[in-house]
Amino acid sequence: MNDQTPIEKALRLIKRGDLRDAECVLKQHLEQEPESLEGWYNLGYVLSDMNREEEAVRAYDEALSIDNGIFEIWFNKANALYNLADFKAARICYEKALDINPDDAEGWNNLGNCLSRLTEGKKALEAYTRAVALDPTYAEAFYNKANCHFIEGEDEHAIAYAELAVQLKPQLAERVAQWIDVARDRREAREAEKHHEKKGKMLKESIDSDLRGG
């Protein structure tokens, strides 16, 4: 037990939920080893877990100054920035993370959330589509895609993806219920309008034909 490195000790404390003790261990370690990538990364993780997101971002920046080619650091920094509602900065970090690992479904889902917050609906849909393509069981991403389609007024797609999300994760039914009836009503209204327009067009063609003596 005494042979544990500071990082190993901190990880054990994190696993037990002793975050303040882990923070102390990591800070003491970083006083001795200021270039410890694992030290700064895990400190960022601990601070974020304690909802101290601004401090977490600074810790992740220290880690990135040592090595800016690690997916998890960019991803976790992005999460912290998202929690701070700095969606523009979070978007940049998610994009950096996905440049390193474009096959991470959660990264695409979270990028979609950023883009949605930035009212870039079409780009958000593209990100959610990448997420569910990478993980066809990713219920949250299907829900987010459905909700984005709803915001964009694309009710047919919204309903279909919402139903799939609930099928994958029944707990999402409550969230879907907040808007799916509106989507169904709008869809029915559009279908009724199209039917009315079609009948009007057919009647006009019939009248025109009669007037031509046809």
pLDDT at 193: 72
pLDDT at 74: 98
Euclidean distance between CA atoms 35 and 38, whole angstroms: 9
Euclidean distance between CA atoms 206 and 43, whole angstroms: 76
Tokens of 128: 């959610």
Please answer whether residues 211 and 203 qualify as being in contact, where contact means their C-beta atoms are separated by less than 8 angstroms.
no
For residue 84, being part of any structural domain is answered with: no
In the predicted model, what is the mean pLDDT of residues 23-40? Answer: 98
**What mean pLDDT, rounded, does the chain reach?**
93
In the predicted model, what is the mean pLDDT of residues 196-204? Answer: 60
For residue 23, being part of any structural domain is answered with: no
For residue 70, being part of any structural domain is answered with: no
H-type alpha helices, the chain: 6-16, 19-32, 37-49, 53-66, 71-83, 87-100, 105-117, 121-134, 139-151, 155-168, 173-176, 180-211
pLDDT higher than 60, residue 207: no
Query: For position 173, which CATH number holds?
Result: 1.25.40.10
Phi, psi for residue 135 in degrees, rounded to 5: -140, 90
pLDDT at 192: 77
Tokens of 112: 């979609």
Number of domains in the chain: 1
For residue 197, being part of any structural domain is answered with: yes
Euclidean distance between CA atoms 180 and 200, whole angstroms: 30
pLDDT at 213: 60
pLDDT at 23: 98
For residue 64, being part of any structural domain is answered with: no
Q: Is 138 left (phi over 0), alpha (psi -120 to 50) or beta?
A: beta
pLDDT higher than 70, residue 43: yes
For residue 176, being part of any structural domain is answered with: yes
pLDDT at 103: 98
For residue 51, being part of any structural domain is answered with: no
What is the per-residue pLDDT across 121-178, written as a single tens digit (0 to 9) for each? 999 999 999 999 999 999 999 999 999 999 999 999 999 999 999 999 999 999 999 9
Please answer whether residues 189 and 214 qualify as being in contact, where contact means their C-beta atoms are separated by less than 8 angstroms.
no
Residues 6+ apart with CB under 8 A from 62: 40
Report the percentage of the chain scoring pLDDT > 90: 85
Domain limits for position 197: 103-214
Euclidean distance between CA atoms 35 and 181, whole angstroms: 55
56 class by beta-carbon count within 10 Å (0-12 exposed, 13-18 middle, 19+ buried): buried
pLDDT at 212: 66
CA distances from 91 to 15, 95, 110, 158, 214 (A): 29, 6, 9, 24, 63
For residue 202, being part of any structural domain is answered with: yes
DSSP 8-state symbol, 120: -
What is the per-residue pLDDT across 52-110, written as a single tens digit (0 to 9) for each? 999 999 999 999 999 999 999 999 999 999 999 999 999 999 999 999 999 999 999 99
pLDDT at 132: 98
pLDDT higher than 80, residue 49: yes
pLDDT at 209: 60
Q: What is the pTM of this model?
A: 0.85
Amino acid identity at 128: Y
pLDDT at 166: 97
